[in-house]
Amino acid sequence: MRTRNNEIKIRLTDAELARLDSMVGKTNYSREGFIRSMLDGYQITEAPNVEMRSLINHLTRIGTNLNILTSRAFGNHFVDEPALRKETAELWELRDDIRRMFIPYIRPRAKEENHDE
């Protein structure tokens, strides 16, 4: 059974419709979802671009791997040092990539700098 039984019809000019479509196109919402979210007081933001989505997925994977490694370390009292170093190095590299892409005025760390400190 539908929970939304009330339908409204509004008329928009071509310019208003183009503006609405442009705003909705920058998000992951449908027109209806976009309008409902605005009515509910949500701050609508643009959907992340492909590069950002890829970075978020990469960070999630690294975080999951680090979480597994630390859980094993606490449970077994054994630290898989090579795996921990690998994931930590990947995390530092990804952080430097993010800085280069999104904060261009910050210099990335030198490659020879020790990230283990």
At 22-51, the pLDDT tens digits run: 999 988 889 999 999 889 888 888 877 787
Q: Please, what's the b/e burial string for 58-70 (b: 16 or more CB within 10 A of its CB; e: otherwise)?
A: beeebeebbeebe
pLDDT in tens, 62-79: 888 888 888 887 777 777
The more confidently predicted of residues 31 and 61 is 31
pLDDT category of residue 109 using cuts at 50, 70 and 90: very low
- The domain segmentation of the chain, as residue ranges, is 10-47, 50-102
For residue 80, what are the contacts with CB-CB under 8 A and spacing of at least 6?
Answer: 69, 72, 73
Mean pLDDT (the chain) is 80
Tell me what the mean pLDDT of segment 87-104 comes to.
Answer: 76
Q: Do residues 9 and 32 make contact, with C-beta atoms less than 8 angstroms apart? A: no
What number of other Cβ atoms are within 10 A of residue 87's Cβ? 20
